[in-house]
Amino acid sequence: MHDTQPRTIAPNDLPEVISRYLAAHRAHDTAAAVSTFIDDATVIDDGNTYRGSAAIERWLDRAATEYTYTIELTQAQKTDTAHYIATHHLEGDFPGGTIDLHYRFTLRDDLIEHLVIEP
Q: How far, rounded to the nearest angstrom, does the alpha carbon of residue 18 sit from its chain's CA centroid?
A: 8
Residue 1 has pLDDT above 60, yes or no: no
- pTM for this predicted structure: 0.93
For residue range 20-57, what is the model confidence (pLDDT) as tens digits? 999 999 998 999 999 999 999 999 998 999 999 999 99
pLDDT at 22: 96
Residue 2 has pLDDT above 80, yes or no: no
- The total of other beta-carbon atoms located within 10 Å of residue 15's CB is 17
Q: How far, rounded to the nearest angstrom, does the alpha carbon of residue 33 sit from its chain's CA centroid?
A: 10
Pick the CATH number of 7-118 from 3.40.50.10470, 1.10.1060.10, 3.30.930.10, 3.10.450.50: 3.10.450.50
Greater model confidence, 112 or 62:
112
For residue range 59-101, what is the model confidence (pLDDT) as tens digits? 999 887 888 888 999 999 999 999 999 999 999 999 999 999 9
